[in-house]
Chain A
């Protein structure tokens, strides 16, 4: 006996396509789930009798409708999300979300694809999540079209009924590569166009896969967007610099630097600061989550961070140019450890100052704030 009635929690785990049924498939028993809901009701100061109703409500939820738009992009962000190990892309699209429009993955093409987008917007008006990768060219609508529609028109139209927008990748969040000097197509970010919806920015070129899926899981689990910083980024992933959490940091503090890509210092994993590493000024989680199931990250594989999650990183002065410091620029190639150590101390100090300022700028931004 199957029922979609939310007042009958006992049967929800068998209704195909609901979150409850998805949990069942993952070996979460109804009993365990009910227990979780009991804890949740107590945390929310609700009467214990609410637990079964809450369990029923969550379990019966249909998968969250997601529409993914691709504008001036390279598909690197989509490729990245397929690399997520937890949750995996399969977990997401089969159990948690209904990916109703996504050029790279969807079966339908042409009219049938556009129809799927329009249908999802209609059926889930006000509730669907809009994900965008790629920038939007403003110099001429003919610079980028889908089904004959300009990117600008498609974004504005699709944003109207969205509950929230997730901008993935540095192009959608800040304009990215198309916006690099001299910005030939007049590329802008999502937030430059859409002003009346909550927008979560997940920068990176591409973003770290688990950061993308983690933010989606947060939204699906709690129904809210995670706490954001002044640049619209989730603080939990973008709160600290790469440098702050880098495994090579002790070498930096000791003034031990690689001078080239395969010298003894490079083989021993010394700091890449003098080879141009932008870790000290880049806020992202690469050094902690790492990439591809924790296998490595650029610095661990011998290349300095290029700062790909920072706004305008393409125009920040060259990937192999050591970060300069005010007053007393660091001598690139200085071989004396003592000089390096002194430089390290200065940078550490500056970095602390910068970090403090960044923390101060990290005003809590909630969904409610954004909706006001």
Chain B
């Protein structure tokens, strides 16, 4: 008999996500539906405000991706007003975005995704000596002694024996889907704890440049942190011509902290994250053959060497790959009305042009129309509207965004390090290239791109130091700071590759105020509901065919959904109570 399996809340993600899966007699998923169940209403809140303030509002779309919406927002204003960044500001932003990737990806792997593969209770049965031998066989990481693992095991034992499992309560421990030997489980639990301590330290990079993390500070036209080092400072009491010694966090001590963080990021990635991913994946090879999304992939590009206006200088290129065809990269025209569009055919909104038409974000409208069941409810009406997320499409096609899309794009465009890493990983796992199009392919792509970005960090840092040494202390372009210098009307798009995928913020400025603001976020591309033609997006498509061993413990759904690293905080659209035409912001 067909059955409907509801997973709500999906935990170990950002935000409020619900999956309803219809299964056949064998417990195999026939159709899955993905629903965002929370809205706030940022777009109407942003309307009428100073565009220079928008980043702080937009940043609160999400506290996990904490800097990405701030960056996309200042870039949208800079795009609209044609502001070029000083090279130092660009380098500092690259360092901050890179740090976000590395921090976010490691935390995703250990704190959000690992418990889908790692059985915490099984770790109690491990032999610490054998665990140490295992750890040393895959990595030279220093914390790999038998005593270390024995201490972690003791801590865990106390936890379990006391009968207060806390965050581990009601996990699917002992489920036959868990395949790791006890020693691998213990090693992973130890690294879960190590990663918690590590992440706390490496966010100091954001604190130096942005004052704090989460939610570091930004400014339209550059970065807020002035450089308090002047290599030509004569060290005398009088006012130096260029000034500055230790007035801000970006002084010699701060730069040294940044360098230390880069070292810590690279060593943890090389010695822990990459080896753990490969070791754990080796026990789950069946997950290299299921969980593919829609076969189409899109990137917006990021990490400019020469500024956002020169996409040829991006580390990650922009484009679309269709039907797994890596031989052709399709360009994106962001202004073309028939390319990027959003639909509301199964979302709780209505359009003036009718429920089945798509709209380009500059012309986007959102009218709030909750037709879902009255809480408390058991099921959503999946034939009608069932989500607060809209449905974005590129030329009418669903596309997947995120680490897998980026790795494929770099692979397809011939990026040398990417090719080497992908080939190394596939060889180690004895898997064909098609294995990338899967649940674990997505998870492995996230790990590999972390390595690429961690290595790139040092180059940006070295360039920043070289600029300062040469006397270039500029971090801010003040030419368009004063709103009286702005045209009466301007519009622009702030593009970026957020850790979870391509992100775009679209702004229309009129008379120095925000007339319209919209964001299309990565998780909306991946998690949105069906389009007017009934085509599913990546989340929904990826679950089809999954066989649930036990509908009460749907670990299979969690594995694939977590491989996307959902960030739902945000399917935020707004309307005002009078039903006026509205702007919208969805969140990653």
Give me the interface of A with B, judged by CB distance under 8 Å.
15-18, 21-22, 25, 62-63, 65, 70-80, 82-85, 88-90, 93-94, 97-100, 102-116, 119, 137, 139-150, 153, 177-178, 180-185, 187, 205-206, 258, 260-270, 286, 291-293, 295-303, 306, 308, 314, 318-320
Contacts and interface: CB of A to CB of B under 8 A. Distances in A.
B259 interface: no
Given A16-B162, A145-B37, A269-B246, A301 B12 contact: no
A142 B349 CA distance: 13
Interface string B553-575: 11000100000000001100011
A113 B64 contact: no
Contacts, number: 356
A325 to B, nearest CB: 21
B40 A267 contact: no
A89 B212 CA distance: 18
Nearest to A133: B63
Interface residues of B: mostly helix, strand, loop or mixed?
A: loop
Contacts of B13: 103-104
Contacts of A107: 11-12, 115, 120, 167-172
A262 B211 contact: no
Contact of B57 (A88, A111, A177): A177
Contact of A146 (B16, B112, B157, B558): B16
Nearest to A142: B370
Contact of A148 (B204, B207, B376): B376
Given A146-B37, A306-B56, A318-B53, A300 B249 contact: yes
Contacts of B44: 182, 184
A267 B203 CA distance: 23
B249 A296 contact: yes
A108 B370 contact: no
Contacts of B473: 262, 267
A275 to B, nearest CB: 9
Contact of B378 (A78, A148, A292): A148
Interface in B240-261: 242-250, 254, 257
Contacts of A144: 16, 37-39
22 contacts: A17-B163, A18-B162, A65-B164, A72-B40, A74-B61, A82-B199, A83-B203, A83-B213, A93-B167, A109-B10, A142-B374, A145-B38, A145-B375, A149-B375, A182-B576, A185-B40, A261-B475, A298-B211, A301-B207, A301-B212, A303-B218, A320-B52
Contacts of A263: 226
Contact of A82 (B16, B196, B223, B257): B196
Interface core residue of B168, B193, B217 (most chain A CB under 10 Å): B217
A251 to B, nearest CB: 9
B12 A104 contact: yes
A233 to B, nearest CB: 19
A182 B45 contact: yes
Given A98-B166, A142-B370, A302-B226, A85 B246 contact: no
Interface core residue of B7, B211, B553 (most chain A CB under 10 Å): B211
A109 B555 CA distance: 9
A116 B170 contact: yes
The 5 closest A-B pairs by CB, nearest first: A17-B162, A76-B63, A269-B247, A267-B244, A184-B41
Contacts of B164: 17, 62-63, 65, 98
Contacts of A115: 170
Nearest to A144: B38
Contacts of B199: 82-83
B62 A74 contact: yes
A333 B13 CA distance: 45
Contact of A303 (B50, B158, B211, B213): B211
